[in-house]
Structures are given as C-alpha cells and as structure tokens.
Amino acid sequence: MKIFSKEQGSSIFAALQRFGKALMLPIAVLPAMGLFLGIGGSLSNLNTVKTYPILNVYWLQDIFLIMADAGNVVFANLPILFAVGLAVGLARTDKGTVGLAAVLSMLVTNATINTSLKVTGKLAEDNLASAGQGMCLGIQTLETGVFGGMLVGIMTYWLHQKFYKTELPPFLSFFGGSRFVPIVCAFASICLGIEIYVIWPHFQEIIFSLGRLFESTGYIGTLIYGFFLRMLGPFGLHHIFYLPFWTTALGGSEIVNGQLIEGTQRIFFAQLSDPSTEKFYEGISRFMSGRFITMMFGLVGAAFAIYKTAKPQNRKVVGGMLLSAALTSFLTGITEPLEFSFLFVAPSLYVLHAFFDGCAFMMAHIFQITIGQTFSGGLIDFILFGILQGEAKTNWIYVPLVGVPWFFLYYFSFKFLIEKYNFKTPGRDEEDLSINSGKVLSDAEQTQLILSGLGGRENIVELDCCITRLRVTVKDAKLVSENVLMESGAQGFLQHGVGVQIIYGPQVSVIKNKLEDALNGK
C-alpha cells in the first residue's frame, strides 16, 4: 500500500529541498567563523604559547584573541542566526521585511519567556545552566538553543506568507502590507513565548531521553548514524539529519564555563574557547570525527580505483578529473564531485561507500577521536581542530592510523566490484575520452545551456544553491533536460518532480549569480 501518491511525494521532496536550502543560509557562515575561532583559540591558548614561544608577542596574541572572540560570538548566538536565516531562506519575496520580523520575534519571544520565569519565581539568580536557562540577545531565558531559533524562523516565514498582502482600512493603510508583518509577528511571539515556557521543559526531557536512547545503542548506533547521513547526501538532505545532533540536546549537553551548552558542535566550539579544557566532549567522536577517515583517505582510495580501472587511453583525461575531485575531498571535505562520478552509474558502490562511512564513524567512536569541524572533514579542519589542539585533547593520531588501511579498503573493494560487474565508471565507456574530451564553455554559453536545460526562463520558479549544488524549483518538470544540463559542465543531476538539483562543485555560487543576472536581464 502506498503512503504517498507520486504527486504528494514530489511535493514533499520539493518542500524538504526548500527547507534544506534555507538551512544552508546560516550554516554557510559557520566555516569562516569556525576558522577564526580555531586559529585564534588554538594560537592564543597558554599551552600552545608555552610550546611555541615565538607566538608570545603581545600584538600577535591580541590579534588571535580578537579572532577567537569574533568566532565565539557567532557560535554563542546561533539561535538568532537560524531564526533570521531560516525565515529569509524560506521567503520568496520581501526578504528584508522577513529578516527584520525574525529579529523582532526573537526579542519578543525571549522577553516573554523571561517575564514568565519572573512572575512564577523560576528565574535563576545564579548557576543558570542547572536551571536549564541561559542568555539570548542579552535576555535571560530558557536554553532552547537552535530549536528555539528555528521555531521563530518558521513562524515568521508562515506569518509573512499569510499577511504580507493584508489590506487595512484607509485610516490604517500605512500599517498594511509588509509593515503589517512585524506587527503581527510581535503579537504571535508573545503567544509563542508563553507556549515555549509551558512546553519546553517537557520537550527538553524528551530530547534528553532520545539522546540517552541513542547513546545506549553504542558503536552500532554510531555506525547507523554515519550510514544514514551518507545515504541522504545525494538528495541534499543530509544537513537536515545531522543538524539536530550538532546544535541541539539530541547531540548531548555539557556545562562549559558555567553555561549549559547543547549540541555536539556548539559544545566543541565552547570548549575550544575555554583554556581549561583538557579533553574534548566524547560526543564529537560519534557525530563528527568519522568524516576525516572517509574524506581524507577512503574516497581518495575510491578515486584511485576508478582511475586504475579506466581504459588506458582514457586515463589521462579521467586522471585529471579524479585528481581534482580527490584533492577537493582531501583538503576541504567536499565529496560530491567525487561521489557523483559513480553514484548514478553504480549505485551499489555508493551503498558500500555509505556502509564504509558508517564504519568510519564507528572507528572514530571506538578510538575516541574528538576532532571537531566547521562543516566537513578535510585536511584544513584536521590541522586546525586536531593537530593544533594536541593529541591529548583529540587523539588525532588515530586518523592516519585508521585512514591508511581505509584507503586500501576502498581501493581494493571498488576495484574488485568495478571489474567484476563492469560498472561504467568514468573512463570505462566505449568512447575514447582522450580524443573527444569536450570543449571548454564560456560563461555565456554555460548560462544559456543551464537555462535551456531547465526549460527556459519562464519555467524557473525558484533558484538557489548550497555548497556544491544548484537547487531549482521549476513549473513543468517535463521541460527539464538532463542531457543538456550535463553538457553545461554538471557533475551530477537529481530530479524529483519539480525539485531539481544540479551538482557543479564549489564554484556553484558563482554559476548561480550569473544565472540570476541572466534572469534579471543583465
């Protein structure tokens, strides 16, 4: 029996794609801020200064402290970033008003919670963490974390969609339209604040219970987490899955510097800026560190296997493509360019890759590797958040010790399966790539091909991108041409109804901007 019809499934996928795309807006700022915090926190740490006396220069230490504080303030205010980012990302029009309304809603919601705590005598005077309270925008409130910000963002977006065209009587017409949205959001935020005050403590206990349940699954639970995380990657929905573990109590909670911090990534960056930290939070080994084994070693082995199984006359062309993709994975942890080279021609290889990735997470858990990250597990994060933090804090030495065998595990497994089942991975087609390797497209040619492949300007409803893929909502799915889009330089293509994803790699944001210029007639 079908749970959803084809049309309903398409609508759900399109909605999830929009939600996932909106989440990328606040997530996109975290890598840069993580680098600030990682570099500044590491090089201003007293232990690092003692080890490397050359760093003990007052003006240099001032710069590192500024960098650390600049990064730390962002991670300390993630709720407001997600509230504004989610509301603006979901809104189709009038984004400035939506952003302003989201900030207003956050202020009113937390002020309402603060007053509710006061009148009921539950406002903690000291040790806020033990009372489940914290500070948000200078207001003492319940520690709802990113969940609270996401609730406010979704509410703001929904109210904007419902009321931004509201017409009021002539004598109140000044407050109509877009100006009515912040007003209605303020009233709704009072109600939301009261509801959070009543419901949140019970909801928080449910989250803690789920966290304890997941923790009780041990190494097998970690393997399952890594497997599902990787399986969601092709659909662009993986960050919806891991975000609750990284930013909410589902990923654990810890008291750092007297503050209750929830979520694996938030705990890591709070501990990173705390000079008294001797060992990073154990949950990091479950929900983060396994990525380094896969992205720096495993997938590089897969790329080498694909290269070795290509036809000799095609290896020069395929080798250049795979070397670029492997370096991207190794250095930055961006894996789509490499994964999409075998995902569609050999889906079973991707399932095996997902299983190996789950096992990598399990190995990180077993060896207590506690290397945090900004958004992915490449060499840059490995050096900043692993090596520079010290072996005692992170057990970083186990990454290469496990990673080297992981390289050969991927290499021999992929090579065996490609040859046994004759998977048409790059370079194994009958076509001679060394003779017919395709032409280099100009910006204008690429833009025109993409527009044509999407069915023309009139067929594009919504256009955005994440780190590596163009995300498009179209009017008529039948007008989309995969072949034309692949000719535009795409490395992968995924379509579910009116939701289209085209993988171009890290340069996708530049491609999106050029498309927007073309759509606007520039």
pLDDT digits (tens, 9 = 90+) for 466-482: 667 788 888 888 899 98
- pLDDT, residue 507, reads 78
**Do 190 and 315 fall into the same domain?**
no
- pLDDT, residue 403, reads 96
Q: What is the mean predicted confidence (pLDDT) over 455-474?
A: 83
**Do 86 and 37 fall into the same domain?**
yes
Instruction: Compute CA distances 277 → 31, 256, 269, 270, 373, whole Å.
Output: 22, 9, 11, 10, 17
> Is residue 5 predicted with pLDDT exceeding 60?
no
b/e per residue 150-178 (b: at least 16 CB within 10 A): bbbbbbbbebbbebbeeeeeeeeeeebbb
pLDDT tens digits for 122-139?
998 877 766 778 888 889
pLDDT tens digits for 103-118?
999 999 999 999 999 9
More confident call, 454 vs 23: 454
Say if 233 falls within a structural domain: no
Burial class (CB in 10 A: 0-12, 13-18, 19+), 86: buried
- pLDDT, residue 406, reads 97
Lowest mean pLDDT among 290-294, 440-444, 455-459: 440-444
- pLDDT, residue 7, reads 57
Q: What is the mean predicted confidence (pLDDT) over 49-70?
A: 81
> Long-range contacts made by residues 191-195, C-beta under 8 angstroms, separation at least 24?
192/105, 192/109, 192/112, 192/151, 192/152, 192/155, 193/108, 193/109, 193/110, 193/111, 193/112, 193/113, 193/116, 194/112, 194/116
- pLDDT, residue 436, reads 40
Split at pLDDT 50, 70, 90, the class of 275 is confident
- pLDDT, residue 68, reads 81
More confident call, 249 vs 151: 151
Whole-angstrom distance, CA of residue 14 vs CA of residue 24: 15
**Do 417 and 293 fall into the same domain?**
yes
**Do 413 and 514 fall into the same domain?**
no
**Do 472 and 413 fall into the same domain?**
no
What is this structure's pTM? 0.70
Q: What is the mean predicted confidence (pLDDT) over 494-500?
A: 81
Say if 89 falls within a structural domain: yes
**Do 36 and 182 fall into the same domain?**
yes
> Is residue 167 predicted with pLDDT exceeding 60?
yes
Whole-angstrom distance, CA of residue 89 vs CA of residue 409: 40
Split at pLDDT 50, 70, 90, the class of 435 is very low
- Boundary of a domain, candidates 185, 210, 235: 210
Burial class (CB in 10 A: 0-12, 13-18, 19+), 309: buried
CATH number at residue 469: 3.30.1360.60
Say if 10 falls within a structural domain: no
**Mean pLDDT of the residues in the chain:** 84
Instruction: Compute CA distances 522 → 40, 51, 518, whole Å.
Output: 41, 55, 5
Residue 363 near residue 496, CB atoms below 8 Å? no
**Do 412 and 373 fall into the same domain?**
yes
Show the domain range for 184. Answer: 21-125+139-210
Q: What is the mean predicted confidence (pLDDT) over 156-181?
A: 84
Instruction: Compute CA distances 103 → 143, 291, 511, whole Å.
Output: 17, 34, 31
Say if 193 falls within a structural domain: yes
Whole-angstrom distance, CA of residue 127 vs CA of residue 142: 13
- Boundary of a domain, candidates 210, 243, 261: 210
Run of H or E including 235: none
- pLDDT, residue 433, reads 47
**Do 202 and 290 fall into the same domain?**
no
Query: What tokens were used for 63?
Result: 């710069």
Q: What is the mean predicted confidence (pLDDT) over 50-65?
A: 81
- pLDDT, residue 105, reads 95
> Is residue 437 predicted with pLDDT exceeding 70?
no
Lowest mean pLDDT among 119-133, 233-247, 444-458: 233-247
Query: What tokens were used for 450?
Result: 């993409």
- How many structural domains is the chain composed of? 3
**Do 204 and 109 fall into the same domain?**
yes
Amino acid at 133: Q
pLDDT tens digits for 76-91?
788 899 899 889 988 8
**Do 358 and 498 fall into the same domain?**
no
Say if 432 falls within a structural domain: no
Say if 169 falls within a structural domain: yes
**Do 29 and 148 fall into the same domain?**
yes
> Is residue 58 predicted with pLDDT exceeding 70?
yes
Say if 232 falls within a structural domain: no
First to last CA, the chain: 50
- Residue 469's DSSP bridge partners are 503
Run of H or E including 465: strand 460-465
Lowest mean pLDDT among 137-146, 315-324, 376-385, 425-434: 425-434
> Is residue 456 predicted with pLDDT exceeding 70?
yes
Instruction: Compute CA distances 171 → 145, 168, 175, 178, 187, whole Å.
Output: 41, 8, 9, 16, 21
Q: What is the mean predicted confidence (pLDDT) over 98-106?
A: 94
**Do 364 and 457 fall into the same domain?**
no
Split at pLDDT 50, 70, 90, the class of 14 is low
Whole-angstrom distance, CA of residue 311 vs CA of residue 432: 9
Say if 485 falls within a structural domain: yes
Query: What tokens were used for 384?
Result: 């900043």
Query: What tokens were used for 170?
Result: 């002539």
